[in-house]
Amino acid sequence: MIRFYKTVFFFTFMMWTVLTSLAQTFDDLTFGTNDALEIVTWNIEWFPKNGTTTVNYVRDIIEAIDVDVLAIQEIDDTTVFKGMINELENFDYVLMDGWFGGLVYVYNTDRIEIEDAFEIYTSSQYWNPLPRSPLVLKFKHLGETIYAINNHYKCCGDGYIDLSDNGDEEVRRLTASTLIENYISEFLPNERVIVLGDLNDLISEPALNNVFTPFLNKPNEYMFADMGIATGPSSGWSYPSWPSHIDHILITDELVSDFWDINSTIVSLDIASHMSGGWSSYDYNISDHRPVGLRITPSPLSINELSGNTLTTINSDRKVLSITDVLGRQCNYEPGKILFFLYDDGSVDKILSSFESQIE
């Protein structure tokens, strides 16, 4: 009889645990806002890791964090993934057909306007350094054009770059960084670009074995927005299972001044702390990676012209090629300065930048 009661108790406890897990809510999990751009990278570890349970969790998490753009890696079942996103109101996806386990974007249709999406480095000569072709997304947020490049670098290795071995994992990641930096330099030199993804290596290593030197060697052109996480306590890292911080968000110089705004932030989203089972439940049902999210407000390219003592908003389809200060030095848009804007039609405007950002 005692054994019978123990069996009933155990069964009841397990049913309660399962039902609690399935009923999990994320009411206190938030990140997205209406005013800033929130963009997140998330290796979701071969979605759906635990079948329908994973689908239910991920759907609820996407709704809860309510970000503008999610760059996701490791979608194993694209059919199930599409079905899940189709159940979400105000969200859609960008997925290159015919590639399993590839790279995906999920975006908020109320706040994001997609202008283009395409893969780069798709031919076989690039498969060694880039086994998953980077996925580029050109989009508008509050009228401002941004480029995102979603990546999933080759994993593993011994931590050392062996330049004599083309199959060395670190060499493959170093080459991947070189290729992406070359693409930005050649095709997007004056655009606002966010490079993000599971890059499978540390950004805080010494230069001798750092696979991100193509970016780190150009501090005036690129910045890892998550460097503070990488050099901070392990409790904030994106890959607790190792532990290490290998999911990164890189921004180009056109966004750096915006990143230093007091309202900008970057963080590894500790979703597990919002689950009754903690990290073990998150790891078993969702992923072994935490999402890394950036909040930033890109300065508008709508500008103000100095006409006598009056500031008049310029409405133009001209594309800004560069901005320089009164000494001729190239700079970013900053309020309260006299700036010179060079356009693609050869014209130049002398601007007294507004102290308040204006978007019409």
Bridge partners for 322 per DSSP: 342
Q: What is the C-alpha to C-alpha distance for residues 254 and 194, in angstroms, rounded to an integer?
A: 10
Q: What is the pLDDT of residue 192?
A: 96
- Is 125 a domain residue? yes
Note whether 277 and 338 are same-domain residues: no
Amino acid at 89: E
pLDDT in tens, 215-267: 999 999 999 999 999 999 999 999 999 999 999 999 999 999 999 999 999 99
In a domain, 206, yes or no: yes
231 and 154 fall within a common domain: yes
Do both 193 and 319 map to the same domain?
A: no
**Extended strands (E) in 172-308:** 193-198, 222-224, 247-252, 265-268, 292-296, 304-307
Do 99 and 171 fall within a single domain?
A: yes
Residues 248 and 324 in one domain: no
Spatial separation of the C-alpha atoms in residues 199 and 131, rounded to whole Å? 12
Same-domain status, 216 and 322 = no
The mean per-residue pLDDT over the stretch 7-31 comes to 55
- Looking at the structure of the chain, the number of domains it has is 2
Number of H-type helices and E-type strands within the chain = 8, 17
For 96, the token pair is 């290159």
Report whether pLDDT(9) > 90.
no
Q: Which of 251, 270, 296 is the last residue before a domain boundary?
A: 296
In this structure, the answer to whether residues 348 and 290 fall within a common structural domain is no
Tell me the C-alpha distance between 34 and 295, whole Å: 11
Q: What is the CATH number of the domain that holds 216?
A: 3.60.10.10
Q: Do 222 and 93 share a structural domain?
A: yes
Query: What pLDDT, in 10s, does the model give residues 339-358?
Result: 777 777 777 776 655 433 33
Residues 80, 178: one domain? yes
Average pLDDT over residues 58-75: 97
pLDDT at position 154 is 97
The model's pLDDT over 160-192, given as tens digits with 9 standing for 90+, comes to 999 999 999 999 999 999 999 999 999 999 999
Residue 2 in any domain: the answer is no
Tell me if 6 is assigned to some domain. no
**Interacting residues of 306 by C-beta distance below 8 A, sequence separation 6+:** 338, 350, 351, 352
| Cβ count within 10 A of residue 83 | 11
Per-residue pLDDT of 271-300, as tens digits, reads 999 999 999 999 999 999 999 999 999 987
Do 261 and 330 lie in one domain? The reply is no
For residue 82, what pLDDT band results from cuts at 50, 70 and 90?
very high
Residues 325, 203 share a domain: no
Residue 237 tokens, joined: 């890292």
Residue 360 lies in a domain: no
Each residue's pLDDT tens digit, 115-163: 999 999 999 999 999 999 999 999 999 989 999 999 999 999 999 999 9
Question: Mean pLDDT score of the chain, rounded to an integer?
Answer: 85
For residue 357, being part of any structural domain is answered with no
162 and 251 within one domain: yes
Residue 325 pLDDT more than 60? yes
Q: Is pTM beyond 0.95 here?
A: no
Tokens of 170: 């670190």
Q: What is the pLDDT of residue 308?
A: 35
Q: What is the CA radius of gyration of the chain?
A: 23
Domain that holds residue 336: 304-352
How many Cβ atoms from other residues are within 10 Å of residue 145's Cβ? 15
